[in-house]
Amino acid sequence: DVRRNRNGHCYLEFLEKDSVDQSIVAKARGVIWSNVYEMLSAYFLNETGQQFTSGLNVLVCVSVTFHELYGYSLTVVDIDPTFTLGEIARNRQIVLNRLEEEGVLTLNKELKLPELTNRIAVISSPTAAGFEDFRDQLDNNPNGFVFYTKLFPAIMQGDRSESSIIAALEQIYTYKNHFDVVAIIRGGGASADLNCFDSYLLANNVAQFPLPVVSGIGHERDVTVLDIVSHTRAKTPTAVAEFFIAH
């Protein structure tokens, strides 16, 4: 748990969980003083692409202090971002291994794209710049091709994004005979906002979806589980549109 007060100090609760049942086996209070937090949070973001926030696995260097009234606490003085990067990669691989063991990892890739892919179900935020870029690229294509797009709005970042995108897929499934392909698109943003795209539930839904899925979630450095299970990955929404025009 990470909480920052108005003075800029960051108060933490560190948890250690059992590797089998995820029950809490140890916990401790900690603090990062404001001057240290400014430096460490910027360093962590630069190295990992993630905000320093709740729910992360971290490796920190601390000094231990004891107060006769409040007990002991940990004062964070340094952080090792390579540990967190390793955890992200490890968790991503666990999801990929599970999908492979279940025999669904490449199912969407094995679908054949129709000769014409001009009926496109789009999952995106209606206010996202990436969605507008996607539409503009299709509407102004140099060949004069006509594309029919239908937006299925979804939350594309944050804790609710996984369930929101899955709900959009379920809506599209109801009308699957009206579409040739699904595009999941999102503008740029921080790598931390990509966490939902490493979700097992979302990846499982995409992998087994009966229409080809093209992902364009606007990040060049990271390849998410969603990108891997999708039929085709493009780096940006504009690149997704260019793929449909070229096809």
For residue 88, is it within any domain?
no
Asked whether residue 11 is domain-assigned, the answer is yes
CA of residue 40 relative to chain centroid, distance: 23
Tell me whether residue 87 is in a domain. Answer: no
User: How many domains is the chain partitioned into structurally?
Assistant: 2
Tell me the C-alpha distance between 230 and 243, whole Å. 14
User: Does 185 share its domain with 232?
Assistant: yes
| Residues 150, 50 share a domain | no
User: Of the residues 31, 51, 82, which one is the last residue of a structural domain?
Assistant: 82
DSSP state of 55: T
| Alpha helix stretches (DSSP H) within 49-160 | 81-101, 129-139
How far is it, in rounded angstroms, from Cα 101 to Cα 161? 26
**CATH no. for residue 183?**
3.40.50.2300
**Which stretch of DSSP H or E encloses residue 47?**
helix 34-48
In angstroms, how far is CA 9 from the centroid of its own chain?
A: 28
CB 220 within 8 A of CB 187: no
The pLDDT confidence band at residue 193, using thresholds 50, 70 and 90, is low
pLDDT score, position 46: 84
Dump pLDDT digits (tens) for 100-152. 999 999 999 999 999 889 999 999 998 888 899 999 999 999 988 999 999 99
Give the span between the Cα atoms of 168 and 152, in whole angstroms: 6
Structure tokens at 211: 């229409």
* 4-14 per-position pLDDT tens digit: 888 899 999 99
Q: Which domain holds residue 74?
A: 2-82
Are 44 and 164 within one domain? no
Same domain assignment for residues 231 and 210: yes
- Final residue of a domain: which of 58, 82, 106? 82
Q: Is residue 90 part of a domain?
A: no
Q: Which residues have C-beta within 8 Å of that of residue 39, sequence separation ≥ 6? A: none
Residues 188 and 238 in one domain: yes
Q: Are residues 191 and 227 both part of a single domain? A: yes
**Do 184 and 205 share a domain, yes or no?**
yes
Do 66 and 153 share a structural domain?
no
Cα–Cα distances (Å) from 235 to 48, 80, 174, 186, 240, in that order, read 19, 29, 28, 10, 8
Judgement on whether residues 123 and 191 belong to the same structural domain of the protein? yes
Q: Tell me the pLDDT band of 158, cut-offs 50, 70 and 90.
A: confident
Tell me, what's the pLDDT at 226? 95
203 and 136 share one domain: yes
CA angle 51–56–59, rounded 5-degree value? 100
**Does 155 map to a domain?**
yes
On whether residue 50 sits in a domain, the answer given is: yes
Q: Check residue 54 and give its pLDDT.
A: 82
**How many CB atoms neighbour CB 106 within 10 A?**
13
Mean pLDDT across the chain, nearest whole number?
89
> pTM for the whole thing?
0.76
Asked whether residue 28 is assigned to any structural domain, the reply reads: yes
Assign 99 a pLDDT band (cuts: 50, 70, 90).
very high
- Residues 32 and 138 placed together within one structural domain of the fold: no
Is 105 contained in some domain? yes
Q: Are strands 213-216 and 232-233 parallel, antiparallel or unpaired?
A: parallel
How many whole angstroms separate alpha carbon 132 and alpha carbon 218?
A: 13
Residues 34 and 130 in one domain: no
